[in-house]
Amino acid sequence: MGARLDTTRVVACVQGPVHTAGSGYETASTKMDALSEILRVIKLDSAIYFNAEFCEPWCLASPESRTLAPMLAPGAGHVIIYHLLCEGRAFVQLLDGERIALVAGDLVTFPHGDGHMLGSGPPVAPIDAATALPGVLEKGLELLHLGGRGARSRFICGFLSCDPQLSHAFLGGLPPLIKINIRDDPSGQWLENSLRFSVTQAANREAGADATLTKLSEVVFAETLRRYVRGLPEEQTGWLAGARDEEVGKALTLLHRRHDQRWTVAELARETGLSRTVLSERFRHFLGETPMAYLTRWRLRLGARALTSTSRSVAQIAAEVGYESEAAFNRAFKREYGLPPARYRKDRASQRAATPSVGPVRG
C-alpha cells in the first residue's frame, strides 16, 4: 500500500489542545500517547481510491466494506472507509438510518465498515459502488465526472485496513458513523489542502505522490479519532475515554509501549502515580477489566498476529510478547483462542490458501 506512517508523530503534528475532563487543556503529546501507541503497533495500511465530481441528481450506494475489501486491500482483516466532501453539498445515510446533511469540509468515517449511501438532489437510482469500483480503480485518481447536470459535489475517498483483533480495543466503542468538519481549525485546513494537492499530483503520475497519499490517509483517521475523543462526554467509558484520562491513559501507554515487560500492578501504579487500588478501580471503570487482564489479552493478540504474519518460532514469539516460557504462552493462548499456537498458525495458513486472492490495486 505504501510507506508506513508513524502515527505518534502524526497525532502531535495535526493537533492543537485536547480538552480533558477535570484537567483543562493538555497537549496531544501528553494525552494521546496511548492512542498513538496502539495505532503504531496495529500498522494501518491505507490509500486514497476515489476522486470524483458528482452533479445533481446523483446517488452512490456503498455496501459493507468487506464486500469492497478484496478489490481495495486483498487479505485485509478489516477495512475502514471514509469520504471527504471538498466542494458542494450532499447527504450520507446508513442503510437503516436517517439522512445526514454534509457541507464542504465534512469528513465521514465508517469505523465498522457499515454499508451506506451518498447523494444529492432529487431521488435517482443509485450507482452500485461494488460494481463500479473495478473501473474506478483502473483509472487511478483521475477526476471522474458522474451524475446529472445540476450542482456539483467533489469527493475524495479513502480506506484503511487493519487487524480486527488488534484494533478491536478502540474500534469497539465507536459508533457506525463519525462526522467531523476539518475546516474549523488550521490543522484540519492543512490536512484538506495537503490531500487535495497530493491527489492532483497522483492523478498526474507525479513521483512519490502515492506514498504521500498513503501517509495522509492515515493522518485523516488519526484526526478523526482525535476530534471524536475531544468531544466525548465526561461520563463516557471505554478504551478511548480511558486513553483520554490522565492516569489510565498513562497506564495504557506504558502497557502498549512496553508490553514485554514483567509488569505488576504495584509497578504500574508506581509509574502512574496512583495506589494499586485506585489504579485498578479507575482502569476497571473505563476498560471493564484489570490492568493485568488487559495486558494478557493484548499480548495474546500480538502473538496471534505474529503467528500468522511471520515465520518465527512459537518460543520466539512467546518471548517477544512477554511470556517467560513457551509453555506458559501455549496455555494462555489455548485458553483465549481454543487452539494451541502451532495449530492456530496451521489452520490460519490453510484458510488463507483456500481464499481466492485479487491482485492489489493502487489508488
pLDDT of res. 21: 29
Last residue of a domain, one of 206, 230, 254: 230
pLDDT at 8 over 80: no
Kindly state whether residues 139 and 35 are assigned to the same domain.
yes
Q: Is the pLDDT of residue 343 over 80?
A: yes
Q: Does the structure show a pLDDT above 60 at 1?
A: no
Q: What is the pLDDT of residues 316-334, one digit of tens each?
A: 999 999 999 999 999 999 9
* Per-residue pLDDT at 29: 42
How many domains does the chain divide into?
2
Q: Which of 230, 259, 275 is the last residue of a domain?
A: 230
Distance CA 4, CA 162 (A): 12
Q: Which residue has the higher pLDDT, 213 or 324?
A: 324
Residues 114 and 176 in one domain: yes
Distance CA 74, CA 312 (A): 23
363 lies in some domain: no
pLDDT of 20 > 50? The answer is no
Asked if the structure places residue 236 within a domain, the reply is no
Highest mean pLDDT among 163-177, 209-223, 293-307, 347-361: 293-307
pLDDT at 331: 97
Among 173, 199, 230, residue at a domain's last position? 230
Cell numbers placing 290: 484489570
Q: pLDDT tens-digit profile of 214-247? A: 888 888 898 899 899 988 999 999 999 999 999 9
Residue-wise pLDDT tens digits, 93-150: 998 889 999 999 999 999 999 999 999 999 999 999 999 999 988 888 889 999 999 9
- Residue 256 and residue 195 share a domain: no
Cα separation, 360 vs 363, whole angstroms: 10
Average pLDDT score, the chain: 86
> Is residue 239 assigned to a domain?
no
339 and 258 assigned to the same domain:
yes
Give residue 35's pLDDT band: very low, low, confident or very high (50, 70, 90). confident
pLDDT at position 182 over 70 = yes
Predicted local confidence at residue 179, as pLDDT = 96
Shared-domain flag, residues 266 and 220: no
Residue 210: its pLDDT value, please?
A: 81
Q: Specify if 287 maps to a domain.
A: yes
Both 305 and 209 in one domain: the answer is no
Residues 202 and 102 occupy one common structural domain: yes
Residue 22 above 70 pLDDT?
Answer: no
Residue 29 or residue 159, greater confidence: 159
Instruction: Please tell me the distance from the alpha carbon of residue 272 to that of residue 238, in angstroms, as a whole number.
Output: 19
From CA 53, how far away is CA 74, in angstroms rounded? 27
At residue 356 the predicted structure's pLDDT band, cuts being 50, 70 and 90, is low
Q: Supply the pLDDT for residue 202.
A: 83
> Against a cut of 0.85, is the pTM above it?
no
The residue range of the domain holding 336 is 245-352
CATH number of the domain bearing residue 345: 1.10.10.60
Domain check: are 131 and 26 in the same one? yes
Alpha-carbon gap, residue 346 to 155, rounded angstroms? 43
Q: Does residue 263 belong to any structural domain of this protein?
A: yes
In a domain, residue 136? The reply is yes
Q: Tell whether 1 is covered by a domain.
A: no
Looking at the structure, do residues 219 and 277 belong to the same domain, yes or no?
A: no
Is 199 part of any domain?
A: yes
Domain with residue 56: its CATH number is 2.60.120.10
Q: Give 137-170 pLDDT, tens digit per residue.
A: 888 888 999 999 999 999 999 999 988 888 988 8
Does 184 share its domain with 157?
yes
pLDDT tens track for 41-53: 887 888 888 999 9
pLDDT at 24: 31
CA torsion, ordered 335, 336, 341, 347, to nearest 10 deg? 120
User: Are residue 179 and residue 293 in the same domain, yes or no?
Assistant: no
pLDDT at site 355: 61
Over residues 250-262, the pLDDT tens digits come to 999 999 999 999 9
Residues 124 and 195 in one domain: yes
Q: What is the pLDDT of residue 43?
A: 79
For the chain, the three-class secondary structure string (H helix, E strand, C coil) is: CCCCCCHHHHHHHHCCCEEECCCEEECHHHHCHHHHHHHHHHCCEEEEEEEEEEECCEEEEECCHHHHHHHHCCCCCEEEEEEEEEECEEEEEECCCCCEEEECCEEEEECCCCCEEEEECCCCCCEEHHHHHHHHHHCCCCCEEEECCCCEEEEEEEEEEECHHHHHHHHCCCCCCEEEECCCCHHHHHHHHHHHHHHHHHHCCCCCHHHHHHHHHHHHHHHHHHHHHHCCCCCCCCHHHHHHCHHHHHHHHHHHHCCCCCCCHHHHHHHHCCCHHHHHHHHHHHHCCCHHHHHHHHHHHHHHHHHHHCCCCHHHHHHHCCCCCHHHHHHHHHHHHCCCHHHHHHHHHHHHHHCCCCCCCCC
> Which residue, chain included where needed, has cell 515465520?
311
What the block records as the C-alpha cell of 338 is 481454543
- Short-list 132, 144, 125, CA closest to 63: 132
